[in-house]
Protein backbone atom coordinates (compact mmCIF):
# COMPACT_ATOMS: atom_id res chain seq x y z
CA UNK A 1 0.00 0.00 0.00
CA UNK A 2 1.42 3.43 -0.91
CA UNK A 3 2.20 6.03 1.73
CA UNK A 4 -1.06 8.03 1.80
CA UNK A 5 0.06 10.69 4.26
CA UNK A 6 0.39 14.30 3.16
CA UNK A 7 4.03 14.87 2.27
CA UNK A 8 5.63 17.58 4.41
CA UNK A 9 6.67 19.55 1.30
CA UNK A 10 3.06 19.61 0.08
CA UNK A 11 1.91 20.74 3.49
CA UNK A 12 4.40 23.62 3.38
CA UNK A 13 3.22 24.64 -0.10
CA UNK A 14 -0.42 24.54 0.96
CA UNK A 15 0.29 26.75 3.94
CA UNK A 16 2.44 29.17 1.98
CA UNK A 17 -0.13 29.59 -0.78
CA UNK A 18 -3.09 29.89 1.57
CA UNK A 19 -2.20 33.48 2.39
CA UNK A 20 -1.80 32.64 6.05
CA UNK A 21 0.33 30.27 8.07
CA UNK A 22 -0.92 27.62 10.44
CA UNK A 23 -0.93 28.61 14.07
CA UNK A 24 1.16 26.43 16.30
CA UNK A 25 -0.30 25.27 19.60
CA UNK A 26 1.58 27.97 21.50
CA UNK A 27 1.08 30.76 18.92
CA UNK A 28 -2.61 31.52 18.52
CA UNK A 29 -3.77 33.54 15.54
CA UNK A 30 -5.25 36.95 16.24
CA UNK A 31 -7.17 39.34 14.01
CA UNK A 32 -4.67 41.69 12.36
CA UNK A 33 -3.78 44.63 14.63
CA UNK A 34 -5.82 47.66 13.62
CA UNK A 35 -7.93 45.54 11.27
CA UNK A 36 -11.20 47.26 10.52
CA UNK A 37 -14.25 45.82 8.87
CA UNK A 38 -16.80 47.69 6.76
CA UNK A 39 -19.37 45.40 8.30
CA UNK A 40 -19.17 43.02 11.20
CA UNK A 41 -16.26 42.28 13.46
CA UNK A 42 -12.71 40.99 13.00
CA UNK A 43 -12.43 37.29 13.79
CA UNK A 44 -10.27 34.31 12.86
CA UNK A 45 -11.48 31.64 10.45
CA UNK A 46 -9.84 28.28 11.01
CA UNK A 47 -10.17 25.49 8.48
CA UNK A 48 -9.28 21.95 9.50
CA UNK A 49 -8.83 19.24 6.86
CA UNK A 50 -9.35 15.65 8.01
CA UNK A 51 -8.33 12.82 5.68
CA UNK A 52 -10.52 9.73 5.93
CA UNK A 53 -8.08 7.05 4.70
CA UNK A 54 -6.34 5.00 7.38
CA UNK A 55 -3.26 2.81 7.34
CA UNK A 56 -4.19 -0.90 7.13
CA UNK A 57 -7.84 -0.21 8.00
CA UNK A 58 -10.97 0.79 6.09
CA UNK A 59 -11.61 4.54 5.74
CA UNK A 60 -13.30 6.46 8.55
CA UNK A 61 -17.05 5.85 8.19
CA UNK A 62 -19.74 8.51 8.22
CA UNK A 63 -20.88 7.21 11.61
CA UNK A 64 -17.36 7.38 13.06
CA UNK A 65 -16.91 10.88 11.65
CA UNK A 66 -20.20 12.17 13.05
CA UNK A 67 -19.49 10.63 16.45
CA UNK A 68 -16.12 12.44 16.45
CA UNK A 69 -17.78 15.76 15.56
CA UNK A 70 -20.51 15.27 18.17
CA UNK A 71 -18.24 14.25 21.04
CA UNK A 72 -14.94 16.06 20.34
CA UNK A 73 -15.63 19.15 18.21
CA UNK A 74 -19.11 20.35 19.16
CA UNK A 75 -18.46 20.50 22.93
CA UNK A 76 -15.52 22.83 22.24
CA UNK A 77 -17.44 25.00 19.72
CA UNK A 78 -20.96 25.18 21.09
CA UNK A 79 -21.78 28.30 19.04
CA UNK A 80 -21.52 26.19 15.90
CA UNK A 81 -19.33 25.10 13.05
CA UNK A 82 -19.62 24.31 9.38
CA UNK A 83 -18.50 21.04 7.84
CA UNK A 84 -17.99 20.09 4.21
CA UNK A 85 -17.24 16.92 2.26
CA UNK A 86 -14.11 17.61 0.19
CA UNK A 87 -11.93 15.68 -2.23
CA UNK A 88 -8.20 15.85 -1.66
CA UNK A 89 -5.39 14.69 -3.88
CA UNK A 90 -1.62 14.77 -4.09
CA UNK A 91 1.19 13.15 -6.03
CA UNK A 92 2.98 10.62 -3.83
CA UNK A 93 6.76 10.23 -3.88
CA UNK A 94 6.14 7.15 -6.08
CA UNK A 95 4.47 9.47 -8.66
CA UNK A 96 1.14 7.81 -7.92
CA UNK A 97 -1.80 10.21 -7.84
CA UNK A 98 -3.50 9.71 -4.49
CA UNK A 99 -7.11 10.80 -4.07
CA UNK A 100 -8.69 10.83 -0.65
CA UNK A 101 -12.14 11.64 0.62
CA UNK A 102 -11.78 14.23 3.36
CA UNK A 103 -13.81 16.45 5.65
CA UNK A 104 -13.34 20.15 6.23
CA UNK A 105 -14.50 21.91 9.37
CA UNK A 106 -14.66 25.70 9.37
CA UNK A 107 -14.63 27.53 12.69
CA UNK A 108 -15.03 31.24 13.46
CA UNK A 109 -13.50 32.46 16.71
CA UNK A 110 -11.66 35.23 18.54
CA UNK A 111 -8.19 33.75 18.11
CA UNK A 112 -7.52 33.43 21.83
CA UNK A 113 -4.97 30.99 23.20
CA UNK A 114 -7.78 28.98 24.83
CA UNK A 115 -9.49 28.53 21.46
CA UNK A 116 -6.19 27.63 19.79
CA UNK A 117 -5.58 25.02 22.48
CA UNK A 118 -9.06 23.57 21.85
CA UNK A 119 -8.33 23.34 18.13
CA UNK A 120 -5.04 21.59 18.82
CA UNK A 121 -6.84 19.11 21.11
CA UNK A 122 -9.28 18.33 18.27
CA UNK A 123 -6.41 17.72 15.85
CA UNK A 124 -4.53 15.50 18.30
CA UNK A 125 -7.64 13.46 19.15
CA UNK A 126 -8.42 12.85 15.46
CA UNK A 127 -4.85 11.73 14.75
CA UNK A 128 -4.85 9.36 17.71
CA UNK A 129 -8.35 7.97 17.17
CA UNK A 130 -8.04 7.37 13.42
CA UNK A 131 -4.30 6.66 13.01
CA UNK A 132 -3.56 9.85 11.06
CA UNK A 133 -0.22 11.56 10.57
CA UNK A 134 -1.63 15.06 10.30
CA UNK A 135 -4.67 17.33 10.24
CA UNK A 136 -4.08 20.43 8.13
CA UNK A 137 -4.90 23.72 9.88
CA UNK A 138 -5.27 27.09 8.16
CA UNK A 139 -5.96 30.29 10.14
CA UNK A 140 -6.97 33.54 8.49
CA UNK A 141 -8.25 36.90 9.77
CA UNK A 142 -11.72 37.70 8.40
CA UNK A 143 -14.59 40.15 8.88
CA UNK A 144 -17.78 38.49 10.13
CA UNK A 145 -21.29 39.87 10.30
CA UNK A 146 -24.27 37.79 11.41
- CATH number of the domain that 99 lies in? 3.30.70.120
Using pLDDT thresholds of 50, 70 and 90, give the confidence band for residue 27: low
- What is the percentage of the chain residues whose pLDDT exceeds 90? 68
**Residue 99 is part of which domain span?**
43-139
For residue 16, pLDDT over 60 is answered with no
11 within domain boundaries = no
Mean pLDDT of 19-39: 62
pTM of the full structure: 0.78
Q: What's the rounded Cα separation, in Å, for the pair 66 and 55?
A: 20
Mean pLDDT of 10-16: 37
How far is Cα 79 from Cα 109, in angstroms, rounded to an integer? 10
Residue 81, in any domain of the structure: yes
Amino acid sequence: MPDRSIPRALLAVLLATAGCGSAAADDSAQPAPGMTCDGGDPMIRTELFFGLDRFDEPPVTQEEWQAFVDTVVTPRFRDGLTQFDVDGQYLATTDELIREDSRLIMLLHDGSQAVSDSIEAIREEYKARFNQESVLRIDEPVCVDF
